Structure 1
């Protein structure tokens, strides 16, 4: 009989029951009651348990949110056994989609970054023209993919740019445990026509305005030079490490350049060294000004 693994989450009322293989194909489900769970015979059966409040099905797991009438330690083993018996007897977890989206063959592979908490997942196709960084699921409304990825308890931050997704994890999980799960999920999501970025949901904000440098022509000459240097020499190197750099401002009096680090670069232990020994020295040399100072803002 297939063995279900029981995994705690950061939310004490939610617990995950993990399968050895994926049980959904780029689809995630959330059921609040038995009527909503019509396309999941397993979820319908689980709703007969009086303590089941919400059921989530995604990737290789089923997560259940309980009411406070019991503790998970009292019932989790029995729930896992019920799921194992259901599957062993040929029960259907989720009914197949009657109108499946045509798959788009996709290659996804993981690359390490200088930041041990971040991994870069490179895709063999364009994802977006504009880079986006999401700190939590509420910020991720323009990205259905990011919203789904945030449902994995170990995902802390997400950065999406032209052809890769940089994911920063919580320390509670190791990359050895979760890389395959994330890579497979991203691959299936894209292959099944999932939306990476919904342009209609993008809200103009200060960070995006700075990134696009719409007022470039109105900036002072030094700021323009700094932007050009960052774009031509720094961004490609930073992108190779799973991150991004944005020009924020230049103070002519203090000779202070402020930049925003995103993706794997944000919070990276080596980012300070990179700023001081790399970018700062480059700007001093190319602008012929030894008093230039570079400061990083939180992404």
Structure 2
């Protein structure tokens, strides 16, 4: 295990990063040695005379120093001391035995046709709903999404039955962030974090059109289109980390509008591919060559 030393905006605070997460969705701050009963490592660090505060969170330990030393003079020794402590079996945080043991889960990443989106598959159901969040303000119903949006590279999220599709900003590569995302999602769920509070989901008008209660109010052609999308299109789209919603059908222009979500949203090729694939399918199955499909990004 190799620790990486990173500077912060505060010159008195230095971060010592680990290659993996060291806490389970918890943050710790220790102001003195008396507060370190549940952290043998923090207790050890306070024996150093220049240590003022120890922070433990995510995949790092941050240390604030007193002004009696400069970090450049001691940082390598501190990193070595932490590495030695861990390698000899020292505990960073002591487990709270009173907490219920969580069932381990598996999370793995799958590529999608959209190079900006990755699909994280969980080996158990996480929700009965399908939701898409464009930003943290949209994510009131999902504590997991709120936490993920705090990561600087998360742009959009799509959550459904057993996977989470993450869309990143272009300035980051998947090689840099995949392990952190996978570990974060895995530990959040294992520790009992709420993925989605179904009661807080705000249904959009687009989603309402998919509700069974509205199905009977649609014209026959719209009902046929929805049935075709549900049976033939959605399973293939879901396999690629996306979703498709029926938006509308105009009897006069024969135009079908569908909404793309998840990895399909913003994909360079999906709008063209899906539009033409769905259009040809609907023309064939509805026996109507005048049908035109317009794909909308959700």
Using the TM superposition, give the Cα deviation of residue 187 of structure 1 relative to its aligned residue in structure 2, in angstroms.
1.9
1:126: how far off?
Answer: 0.9
SS in 2 for 1:297: strand
CA distance in 2, matches of 1:269, 1:297: 13
Q: Which runs of 5+ in 1 are unaligned?
A: 10-14, 65-74
Partner of 2:272: 273
1:12-51 pair list within 5 angstroms: 18-25=17-24, 27-29=25-27
In structure 1, the partner of 2:120 is 121
Normalised TM-score (structure 2): 0.78
Aligned ranges 1:69-218 → 2 under 5 Å = 84=79, 87=82, 94=93, 96-97=95-96, 99-218=98-217
Q: Structure 1 stretch 92-101 or stretch 112-121: which is displaced more?
A: 92-101
Q: Shift in Å at residue 212 of structure 1? A: 2.4
Relative to structure 1, the CA distance from residue 4 to residue 292 in structure 2 (aligned partners, 3 Å threshold; closer, same or farther) is: same
**C-alpha distance in structure 1 between counterparts of 2:233 and 2:169, whole Å:** 27
Give 1:17 shift: 5.7
SS of the residue corresponding to residue 257 of structure 2 reads: strand
CA shift at 1:125, angstroms?
0.9
Partner of 1:57: 57
Mapped partners of 1:215, 1:159: distance in 2: 24
* C-alpha distance in 2 between matches for 1:78 and 1:250: 70
1:229-259 Cα distance to aligned partner (Å, 9 max, x none)? 1000000000011100001111111211111
Instruction: Indicate the SS of the match to 2:209.
Output: helix
Counterpart CA distance in 1 for 2:291 and 2:76 is 64
RMSD value, Cα: 3.7
TM-score with structure 1 length normalisation?
A: 0.77
The change in CA–CA distance for 1:217 and 1:8 in structure 2 (over 3 A counts) is farther
SS of 2:230 mapped into structure 1:
helix
Which structure 2 segments of 5+ residues have no match?
Answer: 64-69
User: In structure 2, the residue corresponding to 1:111 is in which secondary structure?
Assistant: strand
1:240: which partner in 2?
A: 239
Q: Does 1:3 align with 2:3?
A: yes
Correspondences of 1:280-295 after superposition (within 5 Å): 280-295=279-294
What secondary structure is seen at the aligned counterpart in 2 of 1:182?
A: helix
Rate the CA distance shift 1:285–1:101 in 2: closer, same or farther, 3 A: same
Distance 2:225 2:188 in 1: 38
SS at match of 2:139: coil
Label 1:161 to 1:264 Cα distance change in 2 as closer, same or farther (>3 A).
Answer: same
Which residue number corresponds to residue 66 of structure 2?
none
Q: 1:30 to 1:230 in 2, by over 3 A?
A: farther
SS in 1 for 2:137: coil
Give 1:7 deviation, angstroms: 8.2
Partners of 1:298 and 1:140 in 2: how far apart?
19
Is the Cα contact below 8 Å between 1:121 and 1:164 reproduced in 2?
A: yes
> Structure 1 residue 163: deviation in Å?
1.2
Larger Rg: 2
Separation in 2, partners of 1:212, 1:77: 61
What residue in structure 1 maps to residue 261 of structure 2?
262
More deviation in 211-220 or 233-242?
Answer: 211-220
Contact 1:260 1:297 in 2 (8 A): yes
